[in-house]
C-alpha cells in the first residue's frame, strides 16, 4: 500500500506540481539540486527573522536535550516562565495573563472561549460575537464561525455558529460601519459578548487595509458598551505592520490579544492568547466549575517556548526594527513603479506588506488568475501565493536588497505578461 499526502488548500485534481524543498536559510528555500527560491511570503506569513536563524536553532537544540515535553496542567517549567516575563516587554501592561496553545486558530478558539467564559462566570448571558466582513481567523470550527462565509466553508455551514457582522470600513463608508457596530453594542436585549478583529489589515480576506484611527474608534465603542475587544494579531503581530503589534499604532489595549506565527520567529508552532486581569479574575474561584476549561497535549511545549524566548532575544539584540523600516521604504519605492501600470489597481501598503490587484474579470479568490500567477512565480523561483487576483509581498525581515529587487522585477514581469495575455 502506498500512502499519499493530502496537502492543505491544494486541489490535487488540477495536477499542479508540488516542488520539494530540502533546506532553507535566511530568505530562501533550496531544492535538493541547489535551486534557490526566494520566500517572498515568509512561508505563509510565519517567518520573521528568516529561516533557520542560528539563535533559534540552537535554543531548540539545547532545550530538546534538556526537557522536551511535559504536561502543563498544574505543572510549569522555566522556558514558559521566562517567556511570560519576556512578553511583558512587548505587550501592553493591561495584558498581564497569557494562555498557551499551538496555532493561530487555537489562539482564536481560546480567545472566544475566554470571552464567553467571562460573561458566563459573571452570570451575564452575553453570547453573541461580532466580526468584521472579509475576516479570516483560522480553519477550526470556532475560528471559521467568526470568519467570512464563502466557498471555503459552505460545506461545513451546519457546524458554524451565528455571529453579528459589521461591514469592512471601505474608504467613505467608515462611519456607516462604526454606526453598525454601535447599533449592535447598544442592543439591550442581546448585548454582544465580544468583537474580534484583525487590526489594520485583513489578511486572507484579501490584504484589505484600514486606518489606525478607525481601529481606535472601534475599540472605543466596545469599551463604552462593555463589549470585549479581541485583537487577532496572528498575522499582524511581531512587526508585520511596522510596529511589534498593530494595536500600538491605534494606541489601544485590547481585552484579549491572539498571537502565533512570528512568536517563535516562525520556526516551530506556538501560540499565546494574552488577556487582562478582568478575564482571569472571572475564572478565578474556589469553584472548580469556573476554571478555564481548555487544554491541548502540547500546551506550552518547552522546546517551542525556548524558540519563542530566542525570538524575543533577537528582537532585543538585533536591528529588527531597522530591517522592517528598510522593507517599508523599499515597498514605497516599488509602489512608484507600479502606479503607472494600467492593469494594476488597489495599490496599498501596511508596514512590510505590499498588496494590489491585477485586474481581471472574476476578481475574487476563485479567479483563474490566481493559479496562473502562482505557476508564473514558481517558474521564476519566487514563492508568492496570490489570493485570487490579489498579489501581495510579505518577506522575512532579513531579506537583502538584491532579493527584494528580484521579487519586484518578476512581479512587474507578471503584471505585463498577464496584461498582454
Q: Which residues bind ligand PLP (CB under 6 A)?
A: 45, 103-105, 108, 136-138, 198, 203-204, 232, 234-235, 260
Burial pattern 81-95, b for ≥16 Cβ within 10 A else e, equals eebbebbeebbbeeb
Q: Which residue is nearest to ligand PLP (CB)?
A: 104
Rounded to whole angstroms, the Cα distance separating 175 from 170 reads 10
- Judged by beta carbon, residue 387 or residue 407, the one nearer ligand PLP is 387
- Judged by beta carbon, residue 98 or residue 282, the one nearer ligand PLP is 98
Of the candidates 228, 247, 271, which has an alpha carbon nearest to the alpha carbon of residue 107?
271
- Tally Cβ neighbours within 10 Å of residue 52: 14
- Judged by beta carbon, residue 255 or residue 283, the one nearer ligand PLP is 255
Q: How far is the CB of 73 from ligand PLP (least distance, A)?
A: 22
Rounded to the nearest 5°, which phi and psi values hold at 387? -95, 90
Contacts of 359 (CB under 8 A, 6+ apart): 343, 344, 345, 389
Question: Within 13 Å of residue 160, how many CA atoms lie on the same side as its CB?
Answer: 21
Q: How far is the CB of 366 from ligand PLP (least distance, A)?
A: 19
Q: How far is the CB of 142 from ligand PLP (least distance, A)?
A: 11
418 burial level (CB within 10 Å; 0-12, 13-18, 19+): middle
Please tell me what DSSP assigns to residue 347.
E
In a 3-state reduction of DSSP, which class is residue 2? coil
- Judged by beta carbon, residue 137 or residue 323, the one nearer ligand PLP is 137
Q: How far is the CB of 103 from ligand PLP (least distance, A)?
A: 4
Rounded to whole angstroms, the Cα distance separating 47 from 30 reads 16
- Judged by beta carbon, residue 181 or residue 235, the one nearer ligand PLP is 235
Q: How far is the CB of 132 from ligand PLP (least distance, A)?
A: 11
- Judged by beta carbon, residue 180 or residue 241, the one nearer ligand PLP is 241
Q: How far is the CB of 137 from ligand PLP (least distance, A)?
A: 5
Q: How far is the CB of 346 from ligand PLP (least distance, A)?
A: 19
- Judged by beta carbon, residue 191 or residue 206, the one nearer ligand PLP is 206
- DSSP secondary structure, 191-243, as one string: --SEEEE-SSEETTTT-EE--HHHHHHHHHHHHHTT-EEEEE-TTTTTTTTSS
- Start-to-end CA distance of the chain, whole Å, equals 44
Q: Which three cell numbers stand for residue 225?
A: 458598551
Q: How far is the CB of 320 from ligand PLP (least distance, A)?
A: 20
- Judged by beta carbon, residue 46 or residue 193, the one nearer ligand PLP is 46
Amino acid at each position: 500500500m502506498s500512502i499519499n499526502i493530502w496537502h492543505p488548500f491544494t486541489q490535487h485534481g488540477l495536477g499542479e506540481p508540488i516542488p520539494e524543498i530540502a533546506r532553507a536559510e535566511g530568505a530562501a528555500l533550496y531544492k535538493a539540486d541547489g535551486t534557490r527560491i526566494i520566500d517572498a511570503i515568509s512561508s505563509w506569513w510565519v517567518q520573521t527573522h528568516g529561516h533557520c536563524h542560528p539563535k533559534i536553532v540552537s535554543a531548540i537544540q539545547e532545550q530538546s536535550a534538556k526537557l522536551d515535553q511535559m504536561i502543563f496542567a498544574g505543572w510549569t517549567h522555566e522556558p514558559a516562565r521566562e517567556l511570560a516575563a519576556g512578553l511583558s516587554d512587548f505587550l501592553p501592561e493591561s495584558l498581564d495573563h497569557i494562555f498557551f496553545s499551538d496555532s493561530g486558530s487555537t489562539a482564536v478558539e481560546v480567545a472566544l472561549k475566554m470571552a464567553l467564559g467571562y460573561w458566563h462566570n459573571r452570570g451575564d448571558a452575553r453570547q453573541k460575537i461580532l466580526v468584521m466582513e472579509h475576516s479570516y481567523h483560522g480553519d477550526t470550527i470556532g475560528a471559521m464561525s467568526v470568519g467570512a462565509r464563502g466557498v471555503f466553508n459552505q460545506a461545513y455551514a451546519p457546524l458554524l455558529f451565528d455571529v453579528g457582522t459589521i461591514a469592512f470600513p471601505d474608504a467613505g463608508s467608515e462611519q456607516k460601519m462604526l454606526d453598525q457596530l454601535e447599533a449592535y453594542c447598544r442592543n439591550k436585549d442581546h448585548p454582544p459578548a465580544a468583537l474580534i478583529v484583525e487590526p489594520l489589515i485583513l489578511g486572507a480576506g484579501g490584504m484589505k487595509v484600514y486606518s489606525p484611527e478607525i481601529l481606535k474608534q472601534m475599540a472605543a465603542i466596545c469599551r463604552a458598551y462593555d463589549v470585549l475587544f479581541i485583537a487577532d494579531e496572528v498575522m499582524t503581530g511581531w512587526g508585520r505592520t511596522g510596529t511589534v503589534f498593530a494595536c500600538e499604532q491605534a494606541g489601544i489595549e485590547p481585552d484579549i490579544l491572539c498571537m502565533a506565527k512570528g512568536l517563535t520567529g516562525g520556526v516551530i508552532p506556538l501560540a499565546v492568547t494574552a488577556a487582562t486581569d478582568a478575564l482571569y479574575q472571572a475564572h478565578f474561584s474556589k469553584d472548580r466549575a469556573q476554571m478555564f476549561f481548555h487544554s491541548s497535549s502540547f500546551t506550552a511545549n518547552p522546546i517551542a517556548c525556548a524558540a519563542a524566548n530566542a525570538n524575543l532575544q533577537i528582537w532585543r539584540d538585533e536591528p529588527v526594527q531597522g530591517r522592517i523600516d528598510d522593507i517599508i521604504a523599499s515597498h514605497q519605492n516599488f509602489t512608484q513603479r507600479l502606479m503607472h501600470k494600467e492593469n494594476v489597481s488597489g495599490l496599498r501598503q501596511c508596514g512590510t506588506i505590499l498588496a494590489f490587484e491585477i485586474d481581471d474579470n472574476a476578481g475574487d479568490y476563485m479567479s483563474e488568475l490566481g493559479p496562473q500567477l502562482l505557476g508564473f512565480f514558481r517558474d521564476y523561483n519566487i514563492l508568492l501565493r496570490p489570493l485570487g487576483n490579489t498579489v501581495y509581498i510579505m518577506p522575512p525581515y532579513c531579506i537583502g536588497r538584491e532579493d527584494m529587487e528580484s521579487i519586484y522585477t518578476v512581479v512587474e514581469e507578471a503584471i505585463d505578461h498577464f496584461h498582454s495575455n
